[in-house]
Structure 1
Amino acid sequence: MGDRDWRPFVYGGLASIVAEFGTFPIDTTKTRLQVQGQKIDPRHVELRYTGMVDCFIKTSQQEGVKALYCGIWPAVLRQATYGTIKFGTYYSMKKAIAKHRADGGTKEHLLTNTFCAAFAGGLSSAIANPTDVLKVRMQTGTERGGVARCAAATWRREGARGLWRGAGATAQRAAVIAAVELPAYDACKRRLLPALGDAPPNHLASSLLASLGSAVASTPLDVVRTRLMNQRRVKDHIASQHEVIYKGTIDCFMQTVRNEGFLALYKGFVPTWLRMGPWNIIFFITYEQLKQFY
């Protein structure tokens, strides 16, 4: 693409922001479902919601519709960084590697696409982790106020480590989602070209199919990531004998299964999938339309 290599980054970021605005209330219900029922966290022991619809209705009635968008600005900031880096890196790396293959890049290569997607997803999510932490804490009510106030409070109580809490699980989740979602979308789109052409119906169908696979693969890591991010750990604080906190990804995984059962790793699966579907549809249709400019 020569001097136009920056465009996948810009278009990826813009499309991600548009998709985030359109699906954020679903993300809020997913986050609240994922943190409830933790036997080791006294703030979230109670099972307040029976499902996505119940969470949506209760949140709207008890806290107002505005609460469903609490955390939207760190989410937008996250997409401006994560979405820009992820999609720009994926498409740029894929094209750069394709030039050195024997076929000259004329055919899609699943292994190449999977590697590029996993690398792009892990890298971008690790960089954008602080915005994810703020989003989760604002969604669950752990932090109050605006983005700057929440960031300052987290930094003051927990230090820089607080803003990168759950970074490992976040990077792993993002790598899994990207490794499944992006190659699946490209493969579905290619298979549907003869019947639907390179048009919105093709982009819509490919997005739905790609989102189902990524939701199944990533939800356990998403639950672990959300719980780690929502957990406060004051800097220089020594835990008491009766105080239990998650020590990391594996510990959170094990304690969740031990205390709540394996299915607890799939808390929020329905809103996760229902969010991924519309999110991907909005993103890919927006991205494909923006691509018409180059």
Structure 2
Amino acid sequence: MGDRDWRPFIYGGLASIVAEFGTFPIDTTKTRLQIQGQAIDPRHVELRYSGMVDCFVKTSRQEGIKALYCGIWPAVLRQATYGTIKFGTYYSLKKALAQRRADGGAVEHLPTNTFCAAFAGGLSSAIANPTDVLKVRMQMGDEKRNLVRCFIDIYRIEGVRGLWRGVGPTSQRAAVIAAVELPVYDACKHRLKPALGDTPANHLASSLLASLGSAVASTPLDVIRTRMMNQRNVKDGVEPCEKIYKGTIDCFLRTVRSEGPPALYKGFVPTWLRMGPWNIIFFLSYEQLKQLY
């Protein structure tokens, strides 16, 4: 690989890790809000939290501030793999395809950018799925808080499939987020250049617009993948546990039937409030790394 080939991967991974540390407590509240109120899951039928702020306060008081960062290490491990592959693949593939066009990549091409982003998001999320499962389980407080112990327990009780639970909606969600977020950011950044230049102000405005679009598009899939990741389906020879959802479509239909369509947007506020700061931190960090090196 030449010098320019590996840099998007390194910058994407580093910027993703920085953004994850800065916004993780919001992700914890989002996960808990999405899990609660499942009429068909006796473990989470109770509505413990009235909203993001209530969840944040109750979790801090009842379990301590550390509980808001429960699952941070699998989240960081996820970003080290997911973020590295996603952003590196997107920018590298985008550049390779742009060089084949007549304009040589001088103009942002929305169809090309959308394809590259969706492909990069789906691929990277599928590879990093086990770290996502660990994060969700630890955020709910159902698993031991030791990363290695949690991994071993899931593998021992549920097998390899347990580590890739919810990979379908997870990959679909990641593809949707990337297909909206990255092309919107690049398009906004390009459009704002005449007025703001290639400056932090431009990066800030572009990342905010990108986060709003991706939050609207991805929240329903996020609710579904969170619920599927949180369910158990143990291996033979171990005490059985009912599998509540058979798949993505089944989870979607049963959620709508039992809780109504608004349930698909549970946790939307913390999702957006997390995506906004996450994207701001990520893109500002990414752009600075590009300028420094």
Partner of 1:246: 245
What is the deviation of 1:3?
2.9
1:30 is displaced (CA, Å) by: 0.1
Q: For residue 232 of structure 1, what is the aligned residue in structure 2?
A: 232
> Aligned partners of 1:104, 1:152: CA distance in 2, in Å?
49
Please say if residues 170 and 222 of structure 2, whose CA atoms lie closer than 8 Å, have aligned partners that are also in contact. yes
Q: Which residue of 1 aligns with 2:74?
A: 74
AA at the equivalent of 2:250: D
State whether residues 70 and 145 of structure 2, in contact with CA within 8 Å, keep that contact through their aligned partners in structure 1.
Answer: no
Q: Deviations over 1:69-93 (max 9, x none)?
A: 0000000000000000000000000
Q: 8 Å contact 2:121–2:174 — kept in the other structure? A: yes
Matched, 1:94 2:75: no
Matched residues in 2 for 1:3 and 1:288: separation? 17
CA distance in 2, matches of 1:239, 1:213: 43
Q: Which stretch of structure 1 is more off in the superposition, 228-237 or 202-211?
A: 228-237
Look up the match of 1:172.
Answer: 172
- How many residue pairs are counted as aligned between the two chains? 293
The correspondence of residues 116-131 of structure 1 with structure 2, limited to 5 A, is: 116-131=116-131
The one-letter amino acid paired with 1:200 is P
Helix, strand or coil for the counterpart of 1:6?
helix
Could you tell me whether the CA contact under 8 Å between 1:40 and 1:244 is conserved in 2? no
| RMSD, aligned CA | 1.6
The answer to whether the 8 A contact 2:71-2:135 is kept is: yes
Aligned-residue identity in percent: 82
Question: Contact 1:228 / 1:246 at 8 angstroms: preserved in 2?
Answer: yes
Aligned to 1:283: 282
On the 8 A contact 1:211/1:273 being kept in 2, the answer is yes
Between the aligned partners of 1:145 and 1:58, the Cα distance in structure 2 is 19
Q: Partner residue of 1:269?
A: 268
Amino acid at match of 2:88: G
Counterpart contact for 1:136–1:230, Cα < 8 Å: yes
- List alignment gaps of at least 5 residues for structure 2: none
Question: Cα distance, 1:293 vs. partner?
Answer: 3.1
Is the CA contact 1:19–1:280 (under 8 Å) kept in the aligned structure 2?
yes
Task: State how far apart, in whole Å, the 1-side matches of 2:138 and 2:202 are.
Answer: 36
5+ residue gaps in structure 1?
Answer: none
Identify if the C-alpha distance between structure 1 residues 99 and 278 changes in structure 2 by more than 3 Å, giving closer, same or farther: same
- Measured in 2, the distance between the counterparts of 1:124 and 1:102 equals 30
In structure 2, what is the equivalent of residue 259 of structure 1? 258
Query: 2:135 aligned with 1:109, yes or no?
Result: no
State the AA in 2 paired with 1:36.
Q
Which residue does 1:292 correspond to in 2? 291
Report the residue type matching 2:259 in the other structure: E
Q: Does structure 1 retain, via aligned residues, the 8 Å contact 2:71–2:145?
A: no
Q: Which moved more, 1:101-110 or 1:76-85?
A: 101-110
Aligned position for 1:61: 61
User: In structure 2, the residue corresponding to 1:44 is in which secondary structure?
Assistant: coil
Q: CA deviation at 1:102?
A: 1.2
Aligned-residue offset at 1:27: 0.2
TM-score w.r.t. length of structure 2: 0.97
Shift of 1:238: 10
Structure 1 residues 227 and 145, CA gap change in structure 2 (3 angstroms): same
Q: Which runs of 4+ in 1 moved over 3 A?
A: 237-240
Q: Aligned equivalents of 1:190 and 1:48: distance in 2?
A: 44
Q: Secondary structure at the match of 1:42?
A: coil
1:243 Cα shift? 4.6
Name 2:51's counterpart in structure 1: 51
Report the counterpart of residue 10 of structure 1 in structure 2: 10
CA 1:168–1:190 in structure 2 vs 1: closer, same or farther (change >3 Å)? same
Shift in alpha-carbon separation, 1:42–1:18, aligned structure 2, 3 A: same
Contact preservation (8 Å) 1:134, 1:147: yes
Alpha-carbon distance in 2 for matches of 1:197, 1:43:
52
1:152 corresponds to 2:148? no
